[in-house]
Every structure is written in structure tokens, then in C-alpha cells.
Amino acid sequence: MAKYLISGGNSLCGEIDVQGAKNSVLPLLSAAILTADDVIIQNAPKLTDVTNMMRILRALGAVAEREGSLVRVSAKDISSHEIPVSLAKELRSSIFLLGSVLARVKKAKVAYPGGCDIGLRPIDLHLKALREMGVEIREEGGYVYCDASGAEPSYVTLDYPSVGATENAMLLATSIDGVTSIANCAEEPEIEDLQNFINAMGGCVSGAGTPFIKIKGGLPLKGTVFSTMPDRIEAGTYLLGTLACGGDVTLKGAKAEHLSAVISKFSKWDCKINANSDRIHISSNGNMGELGVIETKPYPGFPTDLQAEICTLASISKGSTIIVENLFETRFKHVPELIKMGANVKVRDRVAVFNGVDRLSGAKVYAKDLRGGAALILAGLCAKGDTEVNDVHFVERGYEDIVAKLTRLGANIKKA
């Protein structure tokens, strides 16, 4: 299995181009099969999750080809309504292909996705929303069989603002004549990107970014060329890395408004974080401040996808830091690895309490999931001595060219 070898202690200086958002391009690829016309998605990051999603589109009968930083999708015919089990297991978020397959061919079959590295990842909210839209759903033998031939314009209320369930309901609603409303929906920026994409295809969606979305369905959807929004979690990861290591970094393409809950944590730190419409600049002398209490919440709250990374900062921040993970059941698997590097932390259920130490020490550690792996890389970059981060395939699911980007910023990191 691949690993990264890191020699810690270098500050990070320079600028990087923020990748297209993983958590936007995946639903956009799903939405691309809503039309039989050609669709071009620009700024599509080169990630294993994207490659796997393209494989699933091809298994459904679509053409999905990468041409540099763009992906071209042509779903003239959808020859299968079954999302392949092996690929669905590889990519849990393939579940929101349900909405677009049902929109296109009115039926779908998907294996019930099992739990994964960060929690149970149930799909009850997805199924409840689809049922409220009139979809007939049978769960049998580990499979979910859906029939949307009787789907009608509906008023759907989500019990929890699930990102994926919001996206599935939006995708299906585009095919239902009349107005479908979704209340208590997710407000993430990626939902707005999906709304803008569907509208660029000739759809009529409004309200994304608020708890209430309306979709006027039944409109003919045509091909489009669309550029994916910047990845706020990648940008946040490099922002936190610069604070941990010290340095002066510009994140080109990043939108500060997508990271306001994160940036506000550093208002009292001895660092400068400023931004204009399409970049964030961070300069830090590496002096750590206090973090206090951090609770992950749905957007616009502190993002769960930066919880692992801020654990690395909490390991070396002044005083005690309390981190509460409110979204996923088991998203502290990076903590035992940070302890190997000298972190002083206790975890009970969804709460981690850190007592900051002066500096972490290099060690041999193992990534257990995507964001936990990123946290260990940040730890290696700021630690004393050498760190070996193993199982980096997790990291390469979500971070394009991370070794090249960090090397360009002055880090001493190599892939082995």
C-alpha cells in the first residue's frame, strides 16, 4: 500500500490552485444523466472518487470520459437501472445516483450501502424522502428496489438536513411535472452548485443555500458546460496546515464565505487571514493560540470534514480544546494515530479533549479514512522528525496532487 514520507518542520510558502469540489462534482456527475445531450463538467478534480463515479455512469450505459480537467458525459441511453454493487461499495456517495436514475428511467436497484469508516451512513432519510414523493420502495436481500412511475409533485420534509438526501430529492423532482418542495434541506454550498447546474440544463430550481428548496419539474433538460465550485474542504485543509506549520500561503479560487465558521476560530490568533472574492491569504508565524470548544454542525456550522484536520491543530494549541463530532458516530479514528505522535487527548463517544503539547514527534501512522489521513499529513508536516503516513489511498480519494501541491509550498514530502 502506498505511503507518504514526511520530514517535518518546514513552513509553507507560496500559492496553490484550489481543486474543484469533490462533494460537488460527484452529484453533478449524477445529474449529468438527467439529459440525453452531452454535458461537460469543467474543473473536475482528478480523484479516485471521481474515477469511480465515472465507472458507475459507464455501467449504466452512459459515456463518461476525462479530457484533462474536464469530464464529458453523454447519457443518450441509460441501458441499466442497476447501480453495480462492487462500485457502490467503493463509493458510498453513489447513493445519490438513485434520484437521477429514477428521474431518467423511473426505476432503480441499488445494494444497501453498508457502514463505512466514519459511521453507519444509513439511507433512511433518502428513502423516506423518495417515498414522500410517491416512489414505491422495496428493501429485500440487501437491495433497494425503487419504482418512480407513480411519483408526484410533493411537499417533502427531511427529518435531518442530509446533504445526500437533499440531492436525491432534487434530482428526482426535476422529472416530476409540477412543483416539488423540500423543507429542512441541507444548505451546503454544494447544494447551490447542483441547483445552478440543473438550471444551466434548463431546469427551474430555487432556494438552495436556505432550508427550503423548490423544484419545478417536468421541463426538458439539455446539455450544458458547467464549472465545478472550488473545494472548500481542500482549501480549509491547506489553511489549517499553514497555521500548524507557519508560513505565507495564498489559496487561489477559495471562497472565504464557504469557510467562515473555520476562519472565525482564529480571530484571536497571532496570524493574518484575509480574502477577496476568489482567494484566501494566510500568514502565520506558527504561534498557536487557543481553540476553545469546536462543535461540528451542518453548514454553515463548523464542517465535520475539517474535524480531523483541526484535531491536529488542537494537539499543539495552547491550553485545552474540546472537539464535539455531532454528525458521524466514529469519526475520531485519527486520534490514536495522533497519540502515537505525542498528542495528549482523551476521547469519550463523540467528544475529544486535547491538552496542547509544544510539538508533535514524527512516527509511523496509518490513515483510516479520507479526512483523518489529511490530518496525519498535517501532523507530519509540523512534527519534529520524520513521519510515515500509510494507506494514503484514502487521502487520494479527495485531495488532487497533494504531494505536488505541498512540495510546491516547501514541504518535505515524498510518495513511496
- Distance, CA of 271 to CA of 266 (rounded, Å): 8
- Distance, CA of 78 to CA of 240 (rounded, Å): 43
Contact 126, 89 (CB under 8 A): no
Q: Which is nearer to ligand EPZ, 154 or 284 (CB)?
A: 154
Q: Which is nearer to ligand EPZ, 148 or 186 (CB)?
A: 186
Q: How far is the CB of 273 from ligand EPZ (least distance, A)?
A: 22
Pinpoint the alpha helices (H) of 136-204: 163-173, 189-200
13 belongs to the catalytic site: no
Q: How far is the CB of 128 from ligand EPZ (least distance, A)?
A: 8
Q: Which is nearer to ligand EPZ, 128 or 279 (CB)?
A: 128
Q: How far is the CB of 272 from ligand EPZ (least distance, A)?
A: 28
Beta bridge partners of 324: 295, 351
Residue number with the smallest Cβ distance to ligand EPZ: 164
Q: How far is the CB of 190 from ligand EPZ (least distance, A)?
A: 6
- The sheet carrying 351-355 orders its strands as 292-295, 320-324, 351-355, 344-348
Tell me which of 13, 116, 311, 382 is the catalytic residue.
Answer: 116
Angstrom CA distances, 262 to 20, 88, 147, 302, 350, stand at: 19, 32, 42, 6, 19
- DSSP letter for each residue of 57-85: HHHTT-EEEEETTEEEEE-S-----EE-H
Q: How far is the CB of 242 from ligand EPZ (least distance, A)?
A: 20
Q: Which is nearer to ligand EPZ, 26 or 251 (CB)?
A: 26
Angle subtended at Cα 130 by Cα 128 and Cα 136, rounded to the nearest 5 degrees:
100
Q: Which is nearer to ligand EPZ, 98 or 186 (CB)?
A: 186
Q: How far is the CB of 246 from ligand EPZ (least distance, A)?
A: 26
- Distance, CA of 75 to CA of 78 (rounded, Å): 6
Residues that bind ligand EPZ (CB under 6 A): 22-23, 26, 93, 119-126, 160, 162-165, 186, 304-305, 327-328, 370-371, 398
Nearest CA to 312 among 376, 386, 252? 376
- Distance, CA of 399 to CA of 21 (rounded, Å): 10
Give the dihedral sign, CA 86/125/189/192.
positive
Cα dihedral 290→293→294→295 (10° resolution): 180
Q: Which is nearer to ligand EPZ, 113 or 217 (CB)?
A: 113
Residues belonging to the active site = 116
